Structure 1
Amino acid sequence: MFIGSHAIAEGRLTRERLRSLGYRRLVQGVYADPALDVDHRLRACGVALLLPAGTAIGGHSAAAWHGAPFAGVHEAVTVVRPAEVEWKGPRQVRVHRTDLATTDVELVDHVPVTTALRTAWDVAALEPLGTAVAALDAMVRAGSVRLPQLEHLAERGTGRWGVAKVRRAFGLVDPRAESAPESRVRVALVLAGLAPVPQFHVQHHGEFLAKVDFAWPEAKLIVEYEGAHHFEAEQIVADDQRYAVLVAAGWRVIRLSAPDLRDLDSVVRRVRDALAGC
């Protein structure tokens, strides 16, 4: 990847060839080989070419380096900067002014990225609760940070900007979640007072039947989130067989998919109604 104006100034390209050769624009002024698969992390790498000294890729964008590559390709890239560095960045960048020590930043493949612990704090302080917890779950699951580290960070964060949001998010972290959608569903359920058992092993007469995303064992209720691969032909058949076994054993199953994430209040109502009717 390269900065277009630099390539033109050095004589490696003309403006006409930059347009005609089909280079992919990552952010304003930064281009990449069109053969590359563009995701949020690649766009963040492009932004890194523009960063002034003392700044870094941070927050939800930096989480991609620490086990949580969940930011969408079209989401603004998060950059953190100290007060003494004035930089606004191009349109596709979200710049957050904050205290930033040199120890908060590490260089990974020539990209300045906030450290895992600093990233965890900024994700919790800057992002919506469900988004933050999903990233934190993944970071803990990946081993980038540990739960005791988050607890210690929250304890000594008194007086820091965003500490209330951070403590709330940290308190909801559960690395048993196996995907970002699972984390978001769990957060909505917990906040509604309907805390499930994540990754529950269902047994019937001593025989293991299945591991399910969420369960309320006493009510024999299961909630499963089904990602895109669950809608492939062979998986549909396997899922139907699996759920038939669970239903035959006396369990009720609520199946969720991507559209349900747009209305988590409705998901909560479905679960509450199911629990009330047990």
Structure 2
Amino acid sequence: MPAPRRQLTGVFLGSAAVAEGFLSRRQLRTRSYHRLTQNVYADPSLELDHRLRCRGVALLLPPEARIGGHSAAAWYGAPFAGLLDPVTVVCPPSTRWSGPRGVRVHRTVLEPGDLAMVDDLPVTTALRTAWDVMALEPLTTAVAALDAMARVRHVTVDDLVTLAQRGAGRWGAERVRRAVRYVDPRAESAPESRLRVCLVLAGLQPVPQFEVVDGGRFVARVDLAFPEARLAVEYEGAHHFVGDQIAEDQERLARLRAAGWRVVRVSAADLRDLAALVARIRAALAAP
């Protein structure tokens, strides 16, 4: 076999790289290439995330199939699915391809208008992606994705309402109608969206991205607010604990408290026990 001609870059099929003499089978195993799925590898300099896994799976797709659902939503402004989440592939019922391990195949009718190429990746269109996200994913995951897609206007709330109305009788229609009710493009992060949905399901009505004003002076914009109770709920991701952000957050909290507002601070750990978190916020609302 000829000696390897160069370091392979991008995403590639292992069998093709060996057949064309770029690598031996031993080199494919021993070099630090990312193994994305069966027979698909990637340059180790590329970030190993769900986006990269989608690109790997795309090399194996039948022509009529598309990356779809939660996986495709990231190309329309939604947060990427997790690294270990299955890559969602949508294909017609007549396609018998089942995909390698780590791929979730959803067989359903695909119209020509449902198919797109975005960033050189075969995906479903924004509206078709929205439908499949709402039909396939848990409610909070679906709303978080749709909030983000609507925020950057790949879809609008009106689009989604119309989609739900026209989809009566289709598979997943009930889940779609339910999810549409909770979509709000004002949300600025997936955790904020998930928390808002949980609060609304608990019978509470927080206002997303509320601007607190005191005596005509802007104080702060908070993630979720209960204006009548002067209670703010703030989700604090990892960046809130880095560098100058810590001091800026403390100054912001001081301004809110000086304006007569109370603040419930929420971390990623709190989201692991949503029932306890909702109870804490409910108690804060009940407190004088």
**Runs of 5+ consecutive residues of structure 1 not aligned to the other structure:** none
Residue by residue over 1:136-155, the C-alpha shift from the partner in whole angstroms, topping out at 9 and shown as x without a partner, is 00001111111111111000
| Aligned-partner residue type, residue 123 of structure 1 | V
Report the equivalent of 1:126. Answer: 136
Is 1:227 matched with 2:237?
yes
Residue by residue over 1:189-239, the C-alpha shift from the partner in whole angstroms, topping out at 9 and shown as x without a partner, is 111111111111111122111111111111111100011110114211111
* Cα distance, 1:97 vs structure 2: 1.1
Indicate if the aligned counterparts of 1:28 and 1:92 stay in contact, CA closer than 8 A.
no
**Runs of 5+ consecutive residues of structure 2 not aligned to the other structure:** 1-10
Is 1:152 matched with 2:135?
no
Is 1:249 matched with 2:259?
yes
- SS at 2:79's partner residue? coil
RMSD: 1.1
Indicate if the aligned counterparts of 1:41 and 1:69 stay in contact, CA closer than 8 A.
no
- SS at 1:5's partner residue? helix
- SS at 1:223's partner residue? strand
Report the equivalent of 1:33. Answer: 43
* Cα distance, 1:29 vs structure 2: 1.2
Report the equivalent of 2:94. Answer: 84
- SS at 2:244's partner residue? helix
| Aligned-partner residue type, residue 85 of structure 1 | T
- SS at 1:258's partner residue? coil
Moved over 4 A (4+): none
| Aligned-partner residue type, residue 138 of structure 2 | P
Residue by residue over 1:45-66, the C-alpha shift from the partner in whole angstroms, topping out at 9 and shown as x without a partner, is 1000001121110000000111
Distance 2:120 2:112 in 1: 15
**What is the identity percentage for the equivalent residue pairs of Structure 1 and Structure 2?**
64
* Cα distance, 1:84 vs structure 2: 0.6
Report the equivalent of 1:65. Answer: 75
Q: Structure 2 matches for 1:92-103, cutoff 5 A? A: 92-103=102-113
| Aligned-partner residue type, residue 54 of structure 2 | A
Distance 1:168 1:41 in 2: 28
TM-score, structure 2 length as denominator? 0.94
TM-score, structure 1 length as denominator? 0.97
* Cα distance, 1:21 vs structure 2: 2.6
